[in-house]
Structure 1
Amino acid sequence: MTNMTCVAGGNDDFQLVTHLTVTGSQFEIGRVLTEEARRLGWSPRAADPAVNRARMSWFERNWPQHHARLDGAAAALGLDPDQDDLALDGWNRVPEGSACSGLWCPPSASADGHGRVGRNYDFFVSTASEIRGRQPRPDELPMGARPYVITTVPDDGLASTVITMDDLDGCMDGMNEAGLTVMLLLADVENAAPPAHTAPQVGLGSTQLPRFLLDTCETAAQAKQALLAAKQYDHGLLLHYLVADAHGQAFVWERGRDGSEHAVEFGDGPLCVTNHLLHRHPDPTDLPADTTPSLGTYGRLRTLYERSKGVTLSGLDLRDLLRAVRPDEDPGAPFRTLWTTVFDTADRTLATRFYLGDGRDYSGELVFPASAR
């Protein structure tokens, strides 16, 4: 069963937000998502056959849900699922300079005992061509203008709801029916540069990683073990990931440029994350001053930490704190918070406001269940 509705914005607003719900087998979910991606202009990319065979084998062993969805993609495209020269999933792309803020408030620091994760998804309001220094194509929309909320309810597996900007087989953040929440943020903003190449590799691409955890894990402990065992690649643009569960556990997953892996935790208190590597700056009270390349990452984390340290936060308090670190509507600034989401791990819900344009404020808060069962 498939249902698609417009839930926020319109053609005259910056964003027009679609909520797509798909119920059925993983094969059917893959077929529907591929058909929607094709409608948006996506097509499969040529791939190195040896690499693609290895990719499919890795998915089959480690992420069977995605492997089954790729069989559905092949059916939607009228292709042989064993064909090796085309990659049937999307490539993962986060252009230079995105900047986001996130905060985990555990049950012990929450006014009602609900664990919550809040996030601002800050991104360009430009087209992909403009980001690359070119003139926009006729009728080319800004990259973040058509986000999707996607709820998948598989016959055999964890249901989830995710928010994605332009990648229908990955996501920027989401929650599954077990209450596991995952979100991605740029990790090393001061050294960010456009990826040198974007060919798919074996393992998990940047925006596939949150979807992989939501498909395969129910707790933060399971997610940590899955990440330690999984091949990952990012094309040189480092991201990190805030992972939290319904049992009050959370960590930030980071990979250094030297290939090192880090699961950063912060005891029982709130865990703040912006756009610098936490394992390099573990003390939130001892951060460098911001510079132009840092895009305010240190100041935003100071604000989050100082206003959450040692206090009890309500859901409204968390929303106010996210608003305090939201970029101003400065005509000269390239970023806006395209959406703000508060994930309630107890209620298993996502409450989101979407950016409609300067001077138009944000949409009313929309509440999505992690599962439509």
Structure 2
Amino acid sequence: MTVNRRRVAGGDDTFMTVDHLTVSGSQQEIGRALAAEAATAYGWQPMPVQNRDIGRARRAWFQSHWPEHHERMVGAAQFVGADLAADEVHLDGWAGIPQGSGCSVLWSPPDPATGEHGLAGRNYDFFTTSATELAMLLAGAPVPESLDEAPMSSRPYLITCLPDDGLASSFITMNDLSGCMDGINEAGLMITLLIADAENATGPDEALQPQVGVESTQLLRYVLDRCTTVEEAKAAMLGAKSYDLGPGLHYLVADADGRAFVWERSQHFQEHVIDADGAMCVTNHPLHRHPMGSPLPQDNPETMRTYARSTALQQHAGDDRAMTPERMRAGLDDVRFTADNGDGYPIRTLWRTVFDVTAKTMSVHFYLGDDADGQPRYSPELTVSAVRD
């Protein structure tokens, strides 16, 4: 096993610090390394299993349906000195802070006539507060000045996993090293998540316990581990037993052949697959309810500008020509969250990622803080690939 680390954004005097962690070896070794990193960075410890029947069924599901992650759980068990088969603790979620995000995504298919690549871009929009501070703000309670707690989003990771026995992938995670918020694998398949219905979203419920199957952020790693094409990803997502531990999410998936779709669930758990026909814009409202090109409602303080952002991105997509990377970045920057447009919420675009599925790369820059004029500052853009040398 080899573990390489380098600082790629931020530091002690900036809002966030980001390391790029590259881990190679067996799936067990990768799991052990990521569990150790989560323990150091987030104070992760295994959560006790409250229902042994569910714990046993969860372990069996991973072993049968997601063997790559089951092997990583074996590595996590080795790190903490636990007996995986005893089903006494959950060893699959290496997280330390809540999940969920706003976000905007823009997909543009490749154009053989012009040579433009297939591109997907996303803004990751999230709060700049600690978990305690956010809960108090949402409850309308005063926040003590003495509160000493790091912001939830101040320690994201860029991770590249190069397993001996599976697909390599690069991904970004805000808080959970067993899942991710967006990523791409060596086949050129990318996936990203967004809140599906910002207006009706609720925060994480501490009473919720892990269930059998994959939770919201693990679903991305599941797809990156097991799929190489859009059709494989559709089958995997529709066939997986999945659940939410926080706000309901929807996902955009695209592959190196230039195909893309959005997967989402309705209120009654009906699944929807919306295929891209040309460019596709995704923000924080269900596309099965408000398809692209249909009239959109007016925003209100709870919608997080989802409809305005969607309209703006559709204008950038324009005449369905394949987008250049410059147009993609300009469109995303046009809808990012700043101090001036957060509707009173302490929210920023924490990173911007541009995926080139043709070249099988992802390029990202990270939020470092606001300057004296209240404008956001970002790190230099970094490009990574999961394609093996």
Count of aligned pairs between the two proteins: 371
Instruction: Give TM-score scaled by structure 1 length.
Output: 0.95
Residue in 1 that maps onto 2:304: 295
Q: Once structures 1 and 2 are overlaid, which stretch shifts more, 313-322 or 358-367?
A: 358-367
Runs of 5+ unmatched residues, structure 2: 137-142
Counterpart of 1:153 (choices 135, 157, 162) is 162
Residue 228 of structure 1 and its aligned partner are, at CA, apart by 1.1
Match of 1:116 in 2: 119
Moved more, 332-341 or 314-323: 332-341
1:366 and 2:369 correspond: no
Q: % of aligned pairs identical?
A: 50
Match of 1:345 in 2: 357
Answering whether residue 136 of structure 2 is matched by residue 127 of structure 1, we say no
Pair 1:218-2:221 in alignment? no
Checking the alignment, whether the CA contact within 8 Å between 2:126 and 2:347 is kept in structure 1 is yes
Distance 1:149 1:307 in 2: 28
Q: Is the 8 A contact 1:178 1:348 kept in 2?
A: yes
User: 165, 181, 197: which one pairs with 1:188?
Assistant: 197
Match 1:104 to one of 95, 102, 107: 107
CA drift at 1:361: 1.3
Q: One-letter code of the match for 2:103? A: C
Give the aligned partner of residue 23 of structure 1: 24
Tell me how far apart the structure 2 counterparts of residues 341 and 142 of structure 1 sit (CA, whole Å). 21
Which secondary structure does the structure 1 equivalent of 2:297 belong to? Answer: coil
Choose from 354, 360, 365 the match for 2:366.
Answer: 354
Cα offset, 1:137, TM superposition = 7.9
Alignment partners' CA distance in 1, 2:293 and 2:363: 27
Does the C-alpha gap of structure 1 residues 78 and 137 become closer, same or farther in structure 2, counting only changes over 3 Å?
farther
Tell me the CA shift for residue 338 of structure 1.
Answer: 0.3
Which residue, 46, 52, 57 being the options, matches 1:44?
Answer: 46
C-alpha displacement at 1:46, in angstroms?
Answer: 0.8
Amino acid at match of 2:384: F
Which has the higher mean CA deviation after the structures are superposed, 45-54 or 85-94? 85-94
Corresponding residue to 2:314 among 296, 302, 305:
305
Distance 1:95-1:168 versus aligned 2 partners, 3 A rule: closer
Does the 8 A contact of 1:44 with 1:88 survive in 2? yes
- In 1, Cα distance between the equivalents of 2:309 and 2:276? 17
Q: Structure 1: which 5+ runs fail to align?
A: none
2:179 corresponds to which of 165, 170, 184: 170
- Aligned residues: CA RMSD: 1.8
Separation in 2, partners of 1:355, 1:219: 31
- 1:84 and 2:93 correspond: no
Query: In the TM superposition, what is the alpha-carbon distance from 1:158 to its structure 2 partner?
Result: 0.3
CA contact (8 A) 2:38 2:94 kept: no
TM-score using structure 2 length: 0.91
Instruction: State the distance in 2 between where 1:186 and 1:174 align.
Output: 17
**2:251 is the counterpart of 1:235:** no
The question of whether the paired residues in 1 share the 8 Å contact of 2:252 and 2:260 is answered with yes
- Whether 2:327 is the aligned partner of 1:325: answer no
